[in-house]
Amino acid sequence: MDYQKVKGTHDFIGEDAEYLSYIRETFFKVTSLFNYKEHVIPTLEYSEVFSRGVGQGSDIVRKEMYSFLDKSYRSLTLRPEFTAGIVRSVVENKLYATEVLPIKSSYLGQSFRYERPQAGRYREFYQGGVECIGVSGIDYDVEVIQLCLELLKRFHLDDKVALSINYLGGIDTRERYTASLTQYFKGHIEEMCDDCKERIEVNPLRILDCKEERDQKVASNAPEITSFLSEKEKADYEAIKERLTLLNIEFHEDTHLVRGLDYYSGLVFEFNVPLEDNALCGGGHYDNLVSELGGPELEGVGFSFGIERLIQFMKDNGIKPESKKSKSFYIMPLDKEVSNYALRIARLLRENDYRAEIDYDGGKIASMFKRAERLNLDYGIIIGLDEANAKTVQLKDLKTQEQISVSYDKLLEEISK
Ligand code: AMP
């Protein structure tokens, strides 16, 4: 039988794995500059964490969760996103009582959604993001946008994305807005796709960002949330826009931006790649998620990047992972008699943080050089009987082909030059 990967999953091999580790390293470096700490949560949660957290009306909970009963008939779910899990962890560990507020958590790992696989859309994918919990006002809303931009800057992509923002109100605003939307869409039900017909009752907001042309046409005349916001919400939204302008951050207001997750109740934002349907990064402010999951009334704000989409975007723009790898060596023992000496040299190099690979295969020196070339290593260390007896090596720069004899004692000094 030929085994294949599960549909919608993928392997990170070679350069892709390098992208992933470069992004991971850069991500945690930049988030720590904003004083976020890595927060590692389980992949599995009780299903209610997401059905309550992300919301029964969301597409994720209705159609996309990998949920199953374990052997004790408990319903478990592979996380479809991180926010609800991080909040569950903050509440369960009562971090709000022991930590300085806001709690700043960063994360990077896999999420799982049963979506139709296509370019930039997988069933198992990586997300990197932050949650800032215990905030009030708009300061951290703007700070997380700055953090996203700083990250994009590190990848030389900050001037290649477009920031869209919108403001969804709290429960009261949402209720009034949803009622008005439902009424409007009911009047146009015949013009809408089957999915959106169903959404009218369960989540009419989601119709606003349906990608189907006919639904977009109907949505273009739908009532807009901005006219339903309370005075306080309007003032907050204005303050966010003012602050962004002050910081010279360009943005575009999109009254149809609702994001797919029910918990957002203030600012929502997305960074998009022009002409791409899928968002590169999305986030927003939530007022009630912490209390929904059993905690105190604390507000939060966060965002999440899709790592596969980021990798693709970097590739499209010719941006390579910046490798911080140390110099590398291929040790070539020309005789069985010198193998102990070769092992000693490999140990010396590795103990001093150099990458070293030994050619255990032996054979002709020409085939050893071929292997070194295919492994893309920097230097060859050639050891014959003469070298072993004299406690020296032949050090060959595999790029310039320059070769010198170096004593064992001087090897580290020579290669650190
Ligand atoms: P969300 O959790 O829906 O706010 O998504 C946050 C980010 O995760 C998006 O902007 C995407 O970049 C990424 N993402 C969401 N769903 C997928 C998917 N099925 N495949 C790959 N990336 C995804």
List the pLDDT tens digit at each of the 417 positions of the chain: 799 999 999 999 999 999 999 999 999 999 999 999 999 999 999 999 999 988 887 888 888 999 999 999 999 999 999 999 999 999 999 999 999 999 999 999 999 999 999 989 999 999 999 999 999 999 999 999 999 999 999 999 999 999 999 999 998 998 899 999 999 999 998 999 988 888 888 888 888 888 888 988 999 999 999 999 999 999 999 999 999 999 999 999 999 898 877 889 999 999 999 878 789 999 999 999 999 999 999 999 999 999 999 999 999 999 999 877 789 999 999 999 999 999 999 999 999 999 999 999 888 999 999 999 999 999 999 999 999 999 999 999 999 999 999 999 999 999 998
Q: Is the CB of 79 under 6 A from ligand 1?
A: no
Q: Rounded distance, CA 195 to CA 200, Å?
A: 9
Sheet holding 124-135, edge to edge: 37-38, 103-112, 124-135, 299-306, 279-286, 267-272, 162-167, 252-253
Is the Cβ atom of 58 under 6 angstroms away from ligand 1? no
DSSP state for residue 320 in the 8-state scheme: P
Q: Which residue has the tokens 């023992």?
A: 333
CA 3 to centroid of ligand 1, rounded, Å: 27
- Is the beta carbon of 81 within 6 A of some atom in ligand 1? yes
Q: Is residue 55 lining ligand 1, measured as CB closer than 6 Å?
A: no
123 Cα–ligand 1 center, Å: 10
128 lines ligand 1 (CB under 6 A): no
C-alpha pair distances (Å), 246 with each of 155, 224, 240, 360: 24, 26, 10, 62
Q: Residue 96 corresponds to which tokens in the numbers above?
A: 């709000």
pLDDT at 162: 96
Contact 229, 235 (CB under 8 A): no
**How many other C-beta atoms are found inside a 10 Å radius of the C-beta of residue 278?**
17
User: Is the shortest distance between the CB of 52 and ligand 1 below 6 Å?
Assistant: no
Alpha-carbon torsion, ordered 139, 145, 147, 153, to 10 deg: -150
Query: What pLDDT is recorded for position 201?
Result: 85
As a whole number of Å, the CA-based R_g of the chain is 28
Q: How far is the CA of 173 from the centre of ligand 1 (A)?
A: 27
Distance (angstroms) between ligand 1 centre and the Cα of 30 equals 20
Beta bridge partners of 358: 331
3-class DSSP assignment, residue 245? helix
Name which of 402, 380, 376 is nearest 393 in CA terms.
380
Supply the DSSP string of 196-226, one letter for each residue. HHHHHHH-GGGGGG---HHHHHHHTTS--GG
Q: Which of 61, 63, 108, 125 to mutate to test the pocket of ligand 1 (most atoms within 8 A of CB)?
A: 125
> Token match 């004083």: residue?
35
- What is the SS3 assignment for 371? helix
Say how far apart CA 190 and CA 198 lie, in whole Å.
Answer: 12
Q: How far apart are CA 170 and CA 220, in angstroms?
A: 23
Closest ligand 1 atom to 83 CA: 2
Place of tokens 């054979």: 363
Specify burial of residue 358 (Cβ count, 10 A radius: 0-12, 13-18, 19+): middle
Question: Residues 127-157, buried b or exposed e (16+ Cβ, 10 A)?
Answer: bbbbbbbbbeebebbbbbbebbbebbebbeb
Give the CA count within 13 Å in the CB-facing half-sphere of 286: 26
| Centroid of ligand 1 to alpha carbon of 318 (angstroms) | 22
The residue type at 304: S
The pLDDT value recorded for residue 277 is: 78
> Tokens representing 372?
């070194």
Q: How many Å lie between the centroid of ligand 1 and the Cα of residue 112?
A: 10
Residue 309 Cβ inside 6 Å of ligand 1? The answer reads yes
For the Cβ of 127 lying below 6 angstroms from any atom of ligand 1, the answer is yes
* Mutation test residue for ligand 1: of 285, 304, 308, the one with most atoms within 8 Å of CB: 304
d(C-alpha 138, C-alpha 192), whole Å: 36
Q: Is the CB of 307 under 6 A from ligand 1?
A: no
DSSP state of 171: H
Q: What is the pLDDT of residue 339?
A: 94
At 147 the pLDDT is 98
Could you tell me if the CB of 280 is within 6 A of ligand 1?
A: yes
Please work out whether the CB of residue 113 comes within 6 Å of at least one atom of ligand 1: yes
